[in-house]
């Protein structure tokens, strides 16, 4: 048995926990210390409309912290926006960042934090694809991640996924200090997410762990957290959609998402994430979780049909509630049942402008941008296999 486990984020989990933020900043025993915060939120209306920003501002005031707000982050955050955010943070003398939002906001905060302390061009520090692979000289500004969605696990991992619109690369940005110092996972902030996005995010959380479960990098530690993540998301995601006020169910999906973030730190994802990043790199309006759902049946069937890890699929089907599962195909059945119940079994690539003519380029993009994920697959996936998966998934 062997694994490397390094998750340094101080996590504060539970309903109402946002109201403890001020104690984490003002107390000498707190997780973060600073005088001026850059508050990063999305460019949408919901963070303000739901009162979450007011609550955060109140916490910062109670802690005696000054702040400025950067509200330009869209879904699938881009290089120009995070570079602008970095300049804004350094011009305003911010010494830490509070990210209040979903995966896009938390991911953007990591890149903004690196740009604020290092300057230059973000792609100088990107270690994958066409990035210049320079390790940043200065640590990222400390990050407080307050997640308002249960999906990406970005509150407890070091990577931020950023899109470079010029090179059509959607890839991970990381560096010294990009792991949040403090995460607040408060399910009260997640109940207002519209149903379809709850489903997209919940499936993203589950896929971080189903990929980890079949990955060659799996170890006893990653298997343990992935198992609980799969079980918690599968058991509770439908309830969070049908009964948005059920805080217990929301908390359990958020727990699954958090565990999946840890899974990515101690284990790994596989090529499904690379295939999806290529889709949303070319089609920015495609939500990450929706893209993963679209290719999931064909992707997992590829490995099921090759019988490369039958036991793992059977165990995942059991974790998803099929107690008598005894063949790998049962995982596909469990997966599709959950998608039906969440109302996301019929998502169409064509609704997002994706065309079959793009599949070859996307397959190449997936490998060039996130080739590392393919090394974790339970058996080799060629470019032709990737194109077949896209084709089978196309509607």
Give residue for tokens 């011009």. Answer: 91
CB of 297 to Zn ion, least distance (A): 17
Q: Which of these segments, 65-73, 199-207, 232-240, 381-389, binds Zn ion (CB under 5 A)?
A: 199-207
- Angle formed at CA 239 by CA 235 and CA 49, multiple of 5 degrees: 130
Tokens of 71: 């509200």
Using Cβ positions, the residue closest to Zn ion within the complex turns out to be 204
* 107 forms part of the interface with Zn ion (CB under 5 A): no
Of the two residues 164 and 280, which places its CB atom closer to Zn ion in the complex?
280
CB of 280 to Zn ion, least distance (A): 10
CA dist., res. 176 & res. 136, Å (int)? 7
CB of 277 to Zn ion, least distance (A): 9
CB of 204 to Zn ion, least distance (A): 4
Of 155, 188, 204, 211, which one interacts with Zn ion (CB under 5 A)? 204
CB of 261 to Zn ion, least distance (A): 10
Of the two residues 117 and 373, which places its CB atom closer to Zn ion in the complex?
373
CB of 359 to Zn ion, least distance (A): 21
Of the two residues 72 and 277, which places its CB atom closer to Zn ion in the complex?
277
Of the two residues 59 and 204, which places its CB atom closer to Zn ion in the complex?
204
Residues in the chain, total: 395
Print the SS3 string covering the chain: CCCCCCCCCEEEECCCHHHHHHHHHHCCCCCCCCCEEEEEEECCCHHHHCCHHHHHHHHHHHCCCEEEEEEEECCCCEHHHHHHHHHHHHHCCCCEEEEEECHHHHHHHHHHHHHHHHCCCHHHHCCCCCCCCCCCCCCCCCEEEEECCCCCCHHHCCCEEEEECCCCEEEEECCCCCCCCEEEECHHHCCCCCHHHHHHHHHHHHHHHHHHHHCCCCCHHHHHHHHHHHHHHHHHHHHHHHCCCCHHHHHHHHHHHHHHHHHHHHCCCCHHHHHHHHHHHHCCCCCHHHHHHHHHHHHHHHHHHHCCCHHHHHHHHHHCCCCCCCCCHHHHHHHHHHHHHCCCCCCCHHHHCCCHHHHHHHHHHHHHHHHHHHCCCCCCCCHHHHHHHHHHHCC
Q: Which of these segments, 174-182, 203-211, 310-318, 385-393, binds Zn ion (CB under 5 A)?
A: 203-211
Of the two residues 117 and 240, which places its CB atom closer to Zn ion in the complex?
240
Of the two residues 269 and 304, which places its CB atom closer to Zn ion in the complex?
269
CB of 115 to Zn ion, least distance (A): 23
Of the two residues 169 and 204, which places its CB atom closer to Zn ion in the complex?
204
Dihedral angle of Cα 25, 13, 51, 56, to the nearest 10 degrees: 10
CB of 118 to Zn ion, least distance (A): 26
Of the two residues 161 and 349, which places its CB atom closer to Zn ion in the complex?
161
Of the two residues 227 and 270, which places its CB atom closer to Zn ion in the complex?
270
If binding means CB under 5 A, how many residues of this protein chain bind Zn ion?
Answer: 1
CB of 49 to Zn ion, least distance (A): 26
**Residues numbered 52-81 forming contacts with Zn ion, rule: CB under 5 A:** none
Q: Which of these segments, 18-26, 41-49, 196-204, 320-328, binds Zn ion (CB under 5 A)?
A: 196-204
Give the footprint of Zn ion on this chain (CB under 5 A).
204
């Amino acid at each position: 048995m062997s694994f490397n486990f390094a998750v340094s984020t101080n996590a504060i989990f539970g309903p109402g926990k946002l109201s403890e933020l001020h104690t984490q900043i003002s107390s000498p025993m707190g997780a973060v210390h600073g005088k001026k915060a850059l508050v990063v939120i999305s460019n949408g209306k919901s963070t303000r409309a739901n009162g979450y920003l007011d609550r955060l501002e109140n916490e910062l005031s109670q802690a005696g912290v000054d702040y400025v707000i950067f509200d330009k982050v869209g879904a699938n955050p881009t290089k120009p926006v995070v570079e602008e955010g970095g300049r804004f943070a350094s011009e305003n003398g911010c010494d830490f960042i509070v990210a209040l939002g979903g995966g896009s906001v938390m991911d953007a905060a990591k890149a903004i934090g690196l740009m604020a302390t290092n300057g230059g061009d973000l792609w100088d520090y990107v270690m994958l694809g066409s990035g210049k692979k320079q390790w940043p000289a200065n640590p990222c500004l400390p990050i407080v991640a307050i997640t308002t969605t249960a999906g990406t696990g970005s509150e407890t991992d070091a990577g931020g996924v950023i899109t470079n619109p010029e090179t059509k690369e959607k890839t991970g940005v990381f560096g010294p200090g990009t792991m949040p110092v403090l995460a607040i996972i408060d399910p009260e902030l997640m109940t207002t997410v519209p149903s379809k996005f709850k489903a997209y995010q919940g499936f993203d959380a589950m896929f971080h762990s189903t990929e980890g479960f079949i990955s060659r990098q799996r170890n006893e530690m990653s298997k343990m957290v992935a198992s609980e993540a799969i079980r918690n998301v599968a058991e509770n995601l439908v309830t969070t959609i049908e009964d948005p006020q059920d805080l217990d169910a929301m908390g359990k999906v958020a727990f699954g998402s958090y565990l999946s973030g840890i899974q990515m730190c101690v284990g790994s994802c596989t090529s499904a994430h690379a295939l999806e990043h290529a889709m949303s790199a070319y089609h920015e309006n495609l939500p990450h979780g929706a893209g993963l759902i679209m290719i999931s049946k064909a992707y997992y069937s590829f490995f099921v049909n090759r019988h490369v890890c039958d036991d793992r699929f059977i165990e995942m089907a059991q974790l998803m509630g099929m107690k008598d599962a005894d063949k790998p195909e049962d995982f596909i059945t469990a997966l599709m049942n959950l998608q039906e119940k969440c109302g996301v079994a019929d998502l169409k690539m064509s609704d997002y402008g994706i065309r079959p003519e793009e599949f070859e380029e996307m397959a190449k993009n997936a490998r060039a941008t996130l080739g590392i994920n393919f090394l974790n697959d339970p058996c080799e996936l060629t470019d032709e296999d990737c194109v077949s998966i896209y084709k089978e998934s196309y509607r």
